[in-house]
Every structure is written in structure tokens, then in C-alpha cells.
Structure 1
Amino acid sequence: MVEHGPRLTLIRQLADGQFHSGQALGELLGMSRAAIAKHIQVLQQWGLDIYRVQGKGYCLSQPLDLLDESQLKQLAPSLPAILVKPVIDSTNQYLLDRVGELSSGAVCLAEYQVAGRGRRGRQWISPFGSNLYCSMYWRLDAGMAAAMGLSLVVGVALAEWCEAFGGDGVKVKWPNDLYYQDQKLAGILVEMTGQAGEAAHLVIGMGINLAMPAQAAEGVTQPWTNLQQACGVLPARNELVADLLNRLQQTLLQYEAQGLAGFVERWNRLDNFLNRPVKLLIGPNEVRGIARGINHQGALMLETETGIHPYLGGEISLRSDA
């Protein structure tokens, strides 16, 4: 396991957005300025925009508002566990590996993911400290069949959370994304373990672009945006995250009580593609039609030349037919 202690100490020092000399940083960490320079190069690879000015030292392009585990626990006291892992392979994988040890509602957050993943095994770009990488474990006693449509429910919770902070134009995209002005804002990945007839163990992963710098998104192949652009001025990051965690917990409790039926109207109100021409990709096949929302099973209702049909699988193309 790689020891990231010195690099995290450097980040905490640089987080104020002020200049720090290589000599002062070296004295703090007990290493040479050359060693500091090598650590800075790694931090730049993590997506941090650090620059150096001769005679002044190193500085972040803007201050960092770092996650604080103790503050999050104070702001979200009803959650059984909140773990902040500054550097991690994947928050989802961390919880999946510990399902038997967790209480329902346990949360893992990270500043940087080495191997963040999205739907269908895609990579999730995860630069340090600029976005939100969060996973919640949830035990669903009703079993695996009851988990159908859970990503839609989480999408509704996230979109309504954005609305609460001024993001009135934030919409949901079937089955698991958030959009703003037809640009991707967030993704949801629900992974599940369990046996038939037993409780379902769910790990709900969320990747939300808060203030991702353009240079950190060079590997992103689709239009994207940040929550700052959708909402304007945001509260402090820990307050923002705690509000999301509290809202998500309450939404999942509602889902247990009401099922997906209690969320269909909420979803259709927020549907980014409602009544718009779309392409539904199902493996190598493509279905064109008009999106008409979802039904009570969470299926996409697509109007084609032969009528309105439900589809439970596939993915809406980012390119509409319009």
C-alpha cells in the first residue's frame, strides 16, 4: 500500500491558496526541496493545479475546501458511520469489500479516486478535491427484486438537492445521470450483492462535478458541467455534502415505505428528455422515438411508430434526433 502521508500534508499546507516556499515545505516534512518537487509532480497528476513562481514557491490556483470527517459527523448525526478516505481506489469498492461489517447508511467519501468507475465499467475521472466522490451502503430487507429502479430514486434525490441550492435547471437522465443544459453533471452507480430470498446489500455510488477544472477533464469524452455553473454560489463543501447525505438517507427510507411508485411523478417532472426525440441504445441495436417518462417499474416509456413501449434496459444516447 502506497503511503500518501507526505503528499496529504503538502495538500493541507497548500489548501489556503497562498504561496509556500519549497524550503519551508521541506523543513515541515523533513525532506529536500528536490523531494518536495517530486511530490508536487504527483499532486499535479492527481488533478491539482499547482504552479511555482521563482522566489515565492508553490501555490494552488485556488484554495481547497477539504472534507472534514468530524464536521460531517456533526452535521449528519443520524448516519451510523461516515468515513473520509482522502485517496482511495474506489469508494464503491471500499464498501463492497466490507458489506458484512457495515450498518445500513454507512458512508465512504474520498478526495481522489485512483480507480473510480462509472456505469458499464467506464472510468470515472476523479481529480483531487474538486468534486464529490461518495458511496452509501444500504441494506434492503425486502430483497433484490425491491431494488429495481433504485438509481432513479437516487437521481431524484440528487436533482432535488441541487434545486434546494438554486439549481432549478438540473434534470435527470434515465437511468442514472444528472444533467444541466444537456451537459453531464453527475453519475450514479448502484452495485448489489445478496442471495435470492434474503436482504439485498446495496452500495450507491455518486460522482458529482462540483468545480472540476477543465484541465482535469481531458479524458472526458462527453459534454460536462459543474454544480457551480448550475447553482452559482454554493455553501461550504462539508455543509453541502452533509445536506446531501441527510437527504439521501430520508429518500431511501421513503423508498422502503412507498416503493418506486412514490417517485414516478417526481422523476417525470425532472426528466431531461421528456417529450424529446432520443435514441435508445440496446447492445448493437438502436431504437428511435419520443421519450415519455417512466412507468411504475422504472422502465423508459418510448413512443415509436408502433405506439408507446416500456424499456428496462439500454441507454439513451447523448445525441437526440432533433
Structure 2
Amino acid sequence: MKEHAIKLSILSVLADGSFHSGEGLGEQLGISRAAVSKHIKGIQAWGVDVFSVQGKGYKLAAPMQLLDQNELTQRINVPLELIPVIGSTNQHLLERISHLQSGSVCLAEYQSQGRGRRGREWVSPFGCNLYLSMYWRLEAGMAGAMGLSLVVGVAIVEAMEKLGISGIKLKWPNDLYFQDKKLAGILVEMSGQAGSAAHLVIGMGMNLRMANDTQGITQPWTSLAEVAQEDIDRNQLAAELINALEAALTEYEMTGMQGFVERWNRLDNFLNREIRLIMGNREVEGISRGINEQGAVLIETPAGLETYIGGEISLRKLE
């Protein structure tokens, strides 16, 4: 992290959204104006909009609230690592599973190697979003992890409802939506052996105020700032989500999916709508009827009510 210390120091100064001269930044940090300019370019490579105006200096496009380790630690009850610049929060925990306490969390401001489901790249610019991963030891084993991403989705939406943010829905099996636009994605990775506990790393990336086309995909995106019509306190949001995840995973260990089916169906973005389920070269069309206690999606087809545990859902009318 030492190689990023100066960039992070510059960002902490620029975070107020005001102009700061290169000379003034250099004096504060004990470096030359040329060095400041070099580090600004590195910050821009993290996806941060930094403007340079002759005679005024450098300024962010908008003020930036940085995550605060001390504030977060006071709000949560699990071990936390805040690593501003990282390859992947999920990968960081996966590599340290043998040393982690169940519930341990890794947060980042920027990921250079963020990933989504099926190995897709997850673009992760600095300070725009929330990148959060939690490690959980599931004593029931890998078979007991069926439907876990659904539980995580329920926990996240319910936590946001407590913050007064309404209208967020779930897309089976791992996305958060608002008005048919993607807001966040969930990635659960696991390891373990038959007959032993499962080691789970649950990652979530949420778009807080990132441009809708940043992910470079055709799927419509939205941001939490759009949903809430205001900027959200990132530290409060992170703490609420961490606490909600810990509570939901603890409940899941005791009750399994039983306590979450009705809650998930209440939030189902596609409930009673015509959908297409894509499974490789196979497609199933029908009406979405929620999920069952195994976490499978229920689709009403001409052949009757069918259940599926894999695939990607899309709206038929959008095809």
C-alpha cells in the first residue's frame, strides 16, 4: 500500500471538491509540483475525474466521501480490513481463508481486478461505488450453501429499506434492480470438501454514483444516487450492509431458506412477468412465479410449473 500512499493523501485533500494548487499539494506532501502532476495522472487511471485549471490547480468533478476505518469499526461487530486499492476484495479473502474469523470483511475504494459471475470483469473505479466482501464458515457444508446469494440479496434490500431507500428489487439469482435497471451484483465463491464446513466468500459491488455506461455492457444500469435522489453516506451504508449480512447468514444457518422464501418473493423484480431463462443453448419461456425453498426459480410454462437452479433471466419483451 506504500506505493499508493501519496495518491491517497492527494485524494484526501481533493475530496472536499475545492481547487487545490499543485504547489500547495506539493508543500503539504513534501514533493515537487511535477511529482504531484504524475500522481494526479495515476489517480485519473483509477477512474477519478480530476480537473486541472491553470491558475487554480486541481479539483474533483464532485466532492468524494472516503471510507473511514475508525468510523466503520465502531458501527460493526466483525473484523474489518479497509484496503483502499486492491486487486479484488473476494480474492483477498479467498487467499486468507485459513486465518480468518467467520464474518470477516474486506472493503476497498478501488479494484484493479474486480469480477462478477462467470468470470466477467467488474469495472471498479475509485470512490464511486461500494466494493464489499465477507467470509463465512458454513458448518452445513457446500450442499447447505444452495440459495445463499438469494439470502444475501434479501439482507441487502431490507437493510436499504431501513435506511429509507425503497423500490429496490431482486433478480434471480444474484442482482439488485431498480425499475428494471441493475443497481448491484452479488458473487458467492466457495471452497470445501464433502463432509466438512464450506468456506464462503460473499462479494457485492453496488453502483453509488458511477456513470451508467461504465461497465461497458448493454444491460441498463442505475446508481443509488439516482434511486435515493441524494448522495448516500458511504460509511453508514457499508456498516448497515455488513450488519445485515452477518444477521442474515446467522439466521440462514439456523433456518435455511425457509425463513427467506416469502421475503425474497416480495422483492422479486420479475414476479408474475413473462421471462426467458437462458441456460447455455437452451431457453425456457414462461411466467415467473418466484422461488421455492431450495432457492430454485419457478416458471409457469405450457407444460406446467417448472423449477430451475441455473441460468440467466431476461424479460421476454426486451428481447
- Matched letter for residue 121 of structure 2: Q
Give the TM-score, by structure 1 length. Answer: 0.95
- The answer on 1:207 being equivalent to 2:205 is yes
Number of residue pairs the alignment of both structures matches: 319
Structure 1 residue 26: Cα displacement = 1.9
For 1:148 and 1:179, the matched residues in 2 are separated by: 22
Question: Does the Cα contact within 8 Å between 2:122 and 2:215 map onto a contact in 1?
Answer: no
The aligned residue for residue 246 of structure 2 is 249
For 1:218 and 1:276, the matched residues in 2 are separated by: 27
* 1:82-116 C-alpha deviation (Å, 9 max, x unpaired): 01000000000000000000000000000000000
Question: Does the Cα contact within 8 Å between 1:279 and 1:321 map onto a contact in 2?
Answer: no
Question: Does the Cα contact within 8 Å between 2:212 and 2:222 map onto a contact in 1?
Answer: no
The aligned residue for residue 22 of structure 1 is 22
Structure 1 residue 304: Cα displacement = 1.2
Structure 1 residue 161: Cα displacement = 1.7
Question: Does the Cα contact within 8 Å between 1:131 and 1:211 map onto a contact in 2?
Answer: yes
CA RMSD in angstroms, aligned pairs only: 1.6
Residue 105 of structure 1 aligns to a residue whose secondary structure is: coil
The aligned residue for residue 193 of structure 2 is 195
The aligned residue for residue 178 of structure 2 is 180
Question: Does the Cα contact within 8 Å between 2:102 and 2:135 map onto a contact in 1?
Answer: yes
Give the TM-score, by structure 2 length. Answer: 0.96
5+ long unaligned stretches in structure 1: none
- Matched letter for residue 274 of structure 1: L
* 1:133-180 C-alpha deviation (Å, 9 max, x unpaired): 000000011111111000000011111122222332100000000000
Structure 1 residue 35: Cα displacement = 2.4
Structure 1 residue 212: Cα displacement = 1.3
Match of 1:228 among 215, 225, 228: 225
For 1:291 and 1:95, the matched residues in 2 are separated by: 35
Distance 1:288 1:158, change over 3 A: same
- Matched letter for residue 115 of structure 2: R
Question: Does the Cα contact within 8 Å between 1:277 and 1:321 map onto a contact in 2?
Answer: no
Residue 3 of structure 1 aligns to a residue whose secondary structure is: helix
Distance 1:207 1:263, change over 3 A: same
For 1:296 and 1:218, the matched residues in 2 are separated by: 33
For 2:233 and 2:86, the matched residues in 1 are separated by: 23
The aligned residue for residue 9 of structure 1 is 9
Question: Does the Cα contact within 8 Å between 2:274 and 2:316 map onto a contact in 1?
Answer: no
The aligned residue for residue 92 of structure 1 is 90
- The answer on 1:302 being equivalent to 2:304 is no
For 1:162 and 1:230, the matched residues in 2 are separated by: 11
The aligned residue for residue 125 of structure 2 is 127
5+ long unaligned stretches in structure 2: none
Structure 1 residue 218: Cα displacement = 5.7
For 2:103 and 2:88, the matched residues in 1 are separated by: 18
Alignment of 1:33-112 (within 5 A): 33-76=33-76, 78-79=77-78, 81-112=79-110
Question: Does the Cα contact within 8 Å between 1:165 and 1:231 map onto a contact in 2?
Answer: no
- Matched letter for residue 20 of structure 2: H
